[in-house]
Amino acid sequence: MEKTMNLTLRVWRQKNRLDVGKFVEYKLENISEDSSFLEMLDILSEQLVEGGHEPVAFDHDCREGICGMCSMTINGVPHGPEGGITACQLHMRHFHDGQIITIEPWRAKPFPVIKDLVVDRTAMDKIIQAGGFITGRAGSAVDANAMPIDKQTADYAMDAAACIGCGACVAACPNASAMLFTAAKVAHMNSLPQGKAEKNRRSLAMVTTMDGEGFGGCTNIGECEAACPKGIPLDMIAQLNRDYALAQVKNFFQPVL
């Protein structure tokens, strides 16, 4: 027989961008430990709708940890207490009967709350628009190994490319810094031969946009790495710092931007 639990939820409710917002407490009974965290929220929303209330708005799409849409801070930790997963991959078996669960949206100035737990993450798209691409026309796909890339570099770029852009790093950082996100995108592009040609321009443009969007600075404390569902390491922030510094030096002598 499956185990069930009774929970007290404290959920951030906010009608729209202008609303002040507040925590509202809900009691949920007989939640299966096999249900996912988002399914538990679906059950809550169904009960709310049945009672004639507004359901809790939250972002979700693939529900298998690859789209990066789900975004909620569960008991103070982005994507919840289990490391290396997104909120949609979190299951209720990691909670216990009678637990009080506080659910808040990502908190950052560049991420305004649209409704309840849904935030606007356009600021991250703008960072990508500033340099997260390769300008040259790619044409049709070349043969797989036409361009030799050593295994270590390929793995490193692949690790960086694992970033799903969910924004948990920003949410976890006490400074709401987007360094880990930007670093992953820069590391991904700057490491491979196709992206290297525009390395300096990219590093400068993406960091400038990141700062301009109102994200904070990095204090090297590593909360982002701990919260990242894809395990992007702090190494990549070090690489971003290095690439940015070198790009600034080159830009000083011969403007690249």
> Quick one: which of 17, 53, 76, 122 contacts other proteins (CB under 8 A)?
76
The nearest distance, CB 20 to other proteins, in angstroms, is: 10
> Quick one: which of 172, 187, 205, 232 contacts other proteins (CB under 8 A)?
172
Nearest to 124 by CA among 190, 206, 67, 187: 206
The nearest distance, CB 74 to other proteins, in angstroms, is: 9
Using a 10 angstrom Cβ sphere, with 0-12 exposed, 13-18 middle and 19 or more buried, the burial of residue 126 is: middle
* Residue 241 binds other proteins, judged by CB under 8 A: yes
Please give the size of the binding site for other proteins, defined by CB under 8 A.
Answer: 51
In angstroms, the CA 217 to CA 104 distance is 22
Residue type, 87: A
- Tokens encoding 100: 């009080």
Interface positions, 3-62, toward other proteins (CB under 8 A): 10, 23
For 175-227, give the DSSP string. Answer: T-B-HHHHHHHHHHHHHSHHHHTTHHHHHHHHHHHHHHTT-B---S--HHHHH
Contacts of 73 by beta carbon, 8 Å cutoff, 6+ apart: 103, 104, 105, 106, 107, 171
The nearest distance, CB 3 to other proteins, in angstroms, is: 25
* Residue 226 binds other proteins, judged by CB under 8 A: yes
> For other proteins, which is the closer residue by CB, 55 or 112?
112
Interface positions, 89-118, toward other proteins (CB under 8 A): 102, 104, 107-110
* Residue 252 binds other proteins, judged by CB under 8 A: yes
> Quick one: which of 124, 201, 223, 230 contacts other proteins (CB under 8 A)?
223
The nearest distance, CB 141 to other proteins, in angstroms, is: 32
> Quick one: which of 218, 229, 230, 232 contacts other proteins (CB under 8 A)?
218
The nearest distance, CB 207 to other proteins, in angstroms, is: 6
* Residue 245 binds other proteins, judged by CB under 8 A: yes
In angstroms, the CA 39 to CA 42 distance is 5
Contacts of 211 by beta carbon, 8 Å cutoff, 6+ apart: none
Binding site for other proteins (CB under 8 A): 10, 23, 73, 75-77, 102, 104, 107-110, 172, 174-177, 179, 204, 207-208, 210-211, 214-223, 226-227, 233-235, 237-245, 248, 251-252, 255
